[in-house]
Amino acid sequence: MLDNFSEASMAISGESTLVYQEVARKVQREKGIRVINFGIGQPDLPTFRKIRNAAIKALDEGFTGYTSAYGIDELREKIASHVNTLYPNGKPVKKEEVIITPGAKTALYLAFLLYVNPGDEVIIFDPSFYSYAEVVKMLGGKPVYVKMKWAEETGFSLNVSELEDKISSKTKMIVLNNPHNPTGMVFDPKEIENIMELAKEKSIILLSDEIYDYFVYDGRMKSILEDPDWRDYAIYVNGFSKTFSMTGWRLGYVIAKEKITKKMAELAANIYTCPTSFAQKGAIAAFDAFDEVKDMISLFRRRRDVMYEELKKNKWIKVHKSQGAFYMFPYIGEILSRANIQVKDFAIKLIEEAGVTTIPGEVFPLEVGKNYLRLSFAVDENDIREGVRRINEFTTRLMKEIVG
Ligand code: PMP
């Protein structure tokens, strides 16, 4: 009886990235070597001091009860005025159009829960953040994948023509993520505009996950909030996890027209009541921490450059320099085919034989990633040098054995 789990729960597979951290721990324990971890999806800095202080103060002052399901007004107002400064065209966002959630993941979950009926199709790019497809499946929806196109010189592109082909009468939503996990792309603004136009024209909801919006090293990031008509078709998701190094605080948010945030607040009230009260007080101080954010981004830009230069030394790997987020997504198809090995097994070998954790691209979530590895550069610069050196040494050795 207790083993008869619901169909919804069985539609979800566990977070497979954790498997690799587990193998790394085992190797560290058994072989006594320090495994360098390129598998992590969070900044390695502590949350900035002013944010921590504001939360501590809130705790000391007894701000420990429930809040509104929307989150606290002061934070909603801060978010609204922040996006109004960033994207000053159109009708300003007001606090009623903002709902704070326990992490961006919950924001995405509420958005899917609000719209996906069994049988509905949701268009998801391949590769993508794994959680989109899992939640869609859990709700009985069908992820429809659009393969991105790749070239070493230009990186990944969104393949708008294939997207158009995949639209059917059952298409309910398109999920967009820019800057992009796992590829590190900041997509061409023109491509984003084309998708916005398409969504509008075909009356499809555009769910835009912009959680890496501050992690832009080259190029310009186009936000859906730049369109004065975004309220007609779009739902915007962002969060505090990455920009302010607050992953464990669990704070994200949705910006959408008022009718949507109102319904989401009803769902929230029944699922989790509200986001954590004192964490929200801390997040208010985040809006005074943009100097710290700027320093972090400069640090990450340098790390990105180092990782790219080191990977370029490997003749078996093709790599496009990432422009955003904190991931590099090198192509290793030639190694895999010559060594006749699957990317998942290759990632395990890298941990066991080279002492480096990476995430195999097929975790995100399907076909395209089978020829790529995701490497996070939210890691100390010396470790980036040493980790990529180990990867290069390992692949050179492996290929020598095969090619001779
Ligand atoms: N979207 C993307 C693209 C992400 O990479 C992540 C975190 N890895 C999230 C959403 C979830 O962020 P949060 O910690 O705010 O739930």
Tokens 């985040």: give the residue. Answer: 286
Q: Interface pTM (ipTM) of the complex? A: 0.99
Mean pLDDT of the region 31-54: 95
Average of per-residue pLDDT values in the chain: 96
pLDDT of residue 15: 65
For 177, the enclosing helix (H) or strand (E) is strand 171-177
Atom of ligand 1 nearest to the CA of 129: 3
**Is residue 51 predicted with pLDDT exceeding 70?**
yes
Q: Rounded to 5 degrees, what angle do the CA atoms 99, 131, 162 make?
A: 105
Residues at CB less than 6 angstroms from ligand 1: 41, 103-105, 129, 177, 181, 209, 211, 239, 241, 247, 252
The answer to whether 220 touches 190, Cβ cutoff 8 Å, is: no
User: Which of 211, 247, 250 has most ligand 1 atoms within 8 Å of CB, for mutation?
Assistant: 211
CATH superfamily of the domain spanning 7-46+291-403:
Aspartate Aminotransferase, domain 1 (3.90.1150.10)
pLDDT of residue 214: 98
Mean pLDDT of the region 176-198: 98
User: Which of 215, 235, 242, 280 has most ligand 1 atoms within 8 Å of CB, for mutation?
Assistant: 242
Q: Give the domain ranges of the chain.
A: 7-46+291-403, 49-288
Does residue 127 have a cis bond before it (omega within 30 degrees)?
yes
Q: How is domain 49-288 classified at the CATH fold level?
A: Aspartate Aminotransferase; domain 2 (3.40.640)
- Name the percent of the chain lying above pLDDT 70: 100
List, in order, residues 6 or more apart from 19 with CB less than 8 Å away.
none
Mean pLDDT of the region 85-96: 95
pLDDT of residue 18: 83
**49-288: same fold as 7-46+291-403?**
no
**Is residue 365 predicted with pLDDT exceeding 90?**
no
pLDDT in tens, 8-38: 999 988 767 888 999 999 999 999 999 999 9
pLDDT in tens, 283-326: 999 999 999 999 999 999 999 999 999 999 999 999 999 999 99
For 100, the enclosing helix (H) or strand (E) is strand 98-101
User: Which of 100, 105, 180 has most ligand 1 atoms within 8 Å of CB, for mutation?
Assistant: 105
Residue 104 CA to ligand 1 center (angstroms) comes to: 6
Closest-CA residue, ligand 1 atom 8, reads: 41
List, in order, residues 6 or more apart from 134 with CB less than 8 Å away.
11, 12, 13, 365
- Amino acid at the residue 18: L
Residue 248 CA to ligand 1 center (angstroms) comes to: 11
**Is residue 366 predicted with pLDDT exceeding 90?**
no
The answer to whether 9 touches 138, Cβ cutoff 8 Å, is: yes
What's the rounded Cα separation, in Å, for the pair 190 and 67? 41
pLDDT of residue 89: 86
pLDDT in tens, 233-272: 999 999 999 999 999 999 999 999 999 999 999 999 999 9
Atom of ligand 1 nearest to the CA of 251: 15
